[in-house]
């Protein structure tokens, strides 16, 4: 979530710095938002079809989001390519958001949804408050405006790594619980 909010904050100034007009920058925001909506609704509906395990779908969305953002500095040389990168990032981000509470239920259970979602939103709020000032500091210190985009692209990859480690963590907990039961 931190990556998404900060991309939306940085994107207009980033593309205007690259020479695009403000109207073109605003259109990219609209493209991101529209594709995010499609990802939220369509992605959640697609995950209900169970063509893939939800965890695999979530990982794919995180990886697509990170890859699309990482491609943005190269894609930004041509406006249609920048639009495609932003559209893919929005679609993937929407997919993540559409699956978020479903994944909490799947991994933590319905009885823990209220507290886990509340804690998650609280932590997200803290990071969303801290994110823009940190991104601003990075923008001022960075030798290139592309660096900020690359850092923001790394965040979905980091989230995917956490989800990839989840089965190992679950096995560790199960072994520990089995050892206590003996």
CA-to-CA separations, 154 to 2, 45, 104, 107, in angstroms, rounded:
11, 27, 23, 24
Lowest mean pLDDT across 45-54, 81-90, 127-136 = 127-136
Burial class (CB in 10 A: 0-12, 13-18, 19+), 139: middle
The stretch 149-170 carries a mean pLDDT of: 91
What's the pLDDT score for residue 112? 85
For the chain, give every domain's residue range.
Answer: 2-181
pTM for the model: 0.88
What's the pLDDT score for residue 83? 97
What's the pLDDT score for residue 100? 86
Kindly indicate the confidence band of residue 182, based on its pLDDT and cuts at 50, 70 and 90: low
- 79-129 pLDDT tens trace: 999 999 999 999 999 999 999 888 888 888 888 888 888 888 888 888 888
The second-level CATH assignment, the architecture, of 2-181 is: Up-down Bundle (1.20)
The stretch 144-173 carries a mean pLDDT of: 90
Residues 150-173 as b/e (b if ≥16 CB within 10 A, e otherwise) read: ebbbebbbebbeebeeeeeeeeee
């Amino acid at each position: 979530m931190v990556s998404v909010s900060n991309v939306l904050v940085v994107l207009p100034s980033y593309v205007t710095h690259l020479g695009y007009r403000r109207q073109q920058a605003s259109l990219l925001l609209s493209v991101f938002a529209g594709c995010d909506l499609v990802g939220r609704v369509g992605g959640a509906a697609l995950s209900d079809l169970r063509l893939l395990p939800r965890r695999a779908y979530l990982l794919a969305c995180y990886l697509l989001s990170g890859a699309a953002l990482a491609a943005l500095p190269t894609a930004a040389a041509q406006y249609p390519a920048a639009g495609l990168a932003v559209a893919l990032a929005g679609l993937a981000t929407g997919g993540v958001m559409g699956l978020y509470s479903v994944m909490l239920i799947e991994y933590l259970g319905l009885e823990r949804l209220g507290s886990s979602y509340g804690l998650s939103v609280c932590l997200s709020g803290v990071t969303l408050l801290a994110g823009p000032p940190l991104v601003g500091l990075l923008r001022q210190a960075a030798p290139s405006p592309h660096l900020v985009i690359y850092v923001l692209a790394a965040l979905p990859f980091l989230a995917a790594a956490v989800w990839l480690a989840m089965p190992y963590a679950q096995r560790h907990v199960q072994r520990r619980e089995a050892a206590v039961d003996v």
